[in-house]
Amino acid sequence: MNTIMEIDGLRFSYKGNEQAEIRIDSLRIPEGGLLALLGASGAGKTTILRLISGLLSPQSGSIKLYGEEITGKESAERQVGMVFQQPMLFPYLDVVGNVAFPLRLQGLTKSRARKSASEYLDLVGMSNFAKRPVHTLSGGQAQRVALARALAAKPRLLLLDEPFAALDVDVRAEMQDLISRLRCELQLAMVLVTHDQREAGLLADQVALVENGKILQMGKIADLYRRPNSLRVFRAMGGVNEIEGNADNGHFYSRIGKLQVRQNNHFQGPAILTFRQEAALVHSSAKARLTSLIGRVITIRTIGFRHELGIEINGEILRVETNYFPHLGEEVAVDLNMEECHFIPREVKGHLTSPSSVRGFPLQANVIIQASANSTSS
């Protein structure tokens, strides 16, 4: 697959706020692909989008579109379209006039521009609203018009800056479906800024997790969930289970017992075993297996048809989601899915170190859980 955009060595900071610097060493956007920039508010996602669009200029680095250097070009010269969080429609123009605006800038006559604009309105399902004043539109309708206007400029790359954030849940789902359809029909590369992990997973081929202006990890959404490359990524993706212990000869020793692992089995020293809250099976202790962990339920939160449990095992608290509904204080069996467990060496300031809580972990325990042979290393 061809690469549409290449970003190398990009550095940017607002004057007087050098600590909030954007630092992108290397980023590639494939032709026809959709990249999601995922992160919390203030992570730097929108700033990255504005650097790509030309609304901001970096202090250093290179941005290329189809191999052409565009870092020093004005925004209007980049052939990059952008849809903002707010539609930003022109109030003095009707719907079709808004979409025709970039076509008029390209030199088309008023009649030809409005005819072409009508085709883009039809593409986003707004052809019946062509002569409406924009102030009569709902939020979702206005964003469809803004999208049609961006497409009418025939961009080679479309940037989406959380355009669905202010929409109702149902309307947001409709817009997500629309983006997926347009991407397939137009074969147009897109970059989406979002703080919604579900949205990133639904729409994007690749997800770049952004924090403090840096990309912590980039890959498929499943990789960020299941194979985080650091505790920061694990926590940012909503993970809560971090079991501190020691790794030695393919085994991981911690308060909950001795786990046999395959990934990073050459590593020896302090480490953390992470797993998502849905990666454990909980059932009655009466049905415990030889490999089951035995613990006691200390908290229960019911959300819909699932329950969030806090289970204490030898002083360690596991957070799990399950359909099994125990009572407080009940002894339960927990079976970890080791394919979903991820082993991360413990690091502080770049150096491996033993956390104080690791001291005194047993070197032997009765529990041995076999990990899947296809587990990958971090």
Based on the fold, state whether residues 61 and 198 are members of the same structural domain. yes
Cα distances (Å, whole numbers) of residue 353 to 187, 234, 300, 350: 49, 19, 34, 9
Please report, rounded to a whole number, the percentage of residues in the chain having pLDDT higher than 90: 69
Based on the fold, state whether residues 132 and 249 are members of the same structural domain. no
> What pLDDT is stored for residue 247 in this prediction?
82
Based on the fold, state whether residues 31 and 140 are members of the same structural domain. yes
Based on the fold, state whether residues 76 and 181 are members of the same structural domain. yes
> What pLDDT is stored for residue 346 in this prediction?
79
String of b and e for 19-51 (b: at least 16 CB within 10 Å)?
eebbebeebebeebbbbbbbbeeebbbbbbbbb
Backbone angles phi, psi at 325, to 5 degrees: -115, 100
Average pLDDT over residues 318-343: 90
Residue 351 has pLDDT above 70, yes or no: no
pLDDT tens digits, 24-64 = 999 999 888 999 999 999 999 999 999 999 999 999 999 99
Residue 347 has pLDDT above 80, yes or no: no
Based on the fold, state whether residues 106 and 37 are members of the same structural domain. yes
Q: Would you call 12 helix, strand, or coil by DSSP? A: strand
Residue 218 has pLDDT above 70, yes or no: yes
Alpha helices for 162-315 (secondary structure H): 169-186, 197-203, 221-226, 231-236
Residue 304 has pLDDT above 70, yes or no: yes
Which CATH number is 280's domain given?
Answer: 2.40.50.140
> What pLDDT is stored for residue 344 in this prediction?
85
> What pLDDT is stored for residue 265 in this prediction?
57
Residue 287 has pLDDT above 60, yes or no: yes
For the chain, helix, strand, coil in percent to 5 are 30, 35, 35
> What pLDDT is stored for residue 143 in this prediction?
95
> Which of these, 100, 112, 182, lies nearest to 145 by C-alpha position?
100
> What pLDDT is stored for residue 264 in this prediction?
55
The two structure tokens encoding residue 319 = 């957070």
Residue 20 has pLDDT above 50, yes or no: yes
Based on the fold, state whether residues 187 and 322 are members of the same structural domain. no
Judge whether 378 lies within some domain.
no
- Give the H/E segment covering residue 322: strand 316-322
Based on the fold, state whether residues 212 and 254 are members of the same structural domain. no
Burial class (CB within 10 angstroms; exposed 0-12, middle 13-18, buried 19+) of 329: exposed
> What pLDDT is stored for residue 17 in this prediction?
66
Which CATH number is 116's domain given?
Answer: 3.40.50.300
Amino acid identity of residue 206, one-letter, is Q
Based on the fold, state whether residues 142 and 246 are members of the same structural domain. no
Residue 165 has pLDDT above 70, yes or no: yes
Residue 342 has pLDDT above 90, yes or no: no
> What pLDDT is stored for residue 215 in this prediction?
96
Mean confidence (pLDDT) of the chain: 86
Residue 142 C-beta-side C-alpha neighbours within 13 Å = 20
Judge whether 103 lies within some domain.
yes
Amino acid identity of residue 342, one-letter, is H
Based on the fold, state whether residues 155 and 87 are members of the same structural domain. yes
Based on the fold, state whether residues 337 and 244 are members of the same structural domain. yes
* DSSP-derived secondary structure letter, 222: H
Average pLDDT over residues 347-355: 43
> What pLDDT is stored for residue 118 in this prediction?
95
Average pLDDT over residues 160-179: 92
Average pLDDT over residues 156-184: 93
Average pLDDT over residues 146-164: 95
Judge whether 377 lies within some domain.
no
> What pLDDT is stored for residue 349 in this prediction?
40
Judge whether 231 lies within some domain.
no
Judge whether 373 lies within some domain.
no
Domain boundary among 169, 199, 226: 226
CA 280/CA 192 separation, integer angstroms:
32
**341 with 378: CB under 8 angstroms?**
no
**Residue 110 confidence class, pLDDT cut points 50, 70, 90:** very high
- Give the H/E segment covering residue 97: helix 95-105
**298 with 317: CB under 8 angstroms?**
yes
Q: Higher confidence at residue 292 or residue 218?
A: 218
The angle that helices 139-152 and 110-123 make with each other, rounded to 10 degrees, is 120
CA 275/CA 337 separation, integer angstroms:
9
> What pLDDT is stored for residue 64 in this prediction?
95
pLDDT tens digits, 189-200 = 999 999 999 999
pLDDT tens digits, 235-278 = 999 999 999 999 887 788 999 988 877 665 566 889 898 889 98
> What pLDDT is stored for residue 340 in this prediction?
82
Residue 371 has pLDDT above 50, yes or no: no
CA 121/CA 130 separation, integer angstroms:
7
Residue 131 has pLDDT above 60, yes or no: yes
Domain count, the chain: 2
Based on the fold, state whether residues 155 and 269 are members of the same structural domain. no
Judge whether 24 lies within some domain.
yes
Based on the fold, state whether residues 222 and 250 are members of the same structural domain. no
Judge whether 233 lies within some domain.
no
> What pLDDT is stored for residue 291 in this prediction?
82
Domain span at residue 253 reads 240-358
Residue 173 C-beta-side C-alpha neighbours within 13 Å = 2
Residue 367 has pLDDT above 80, yes or no: no
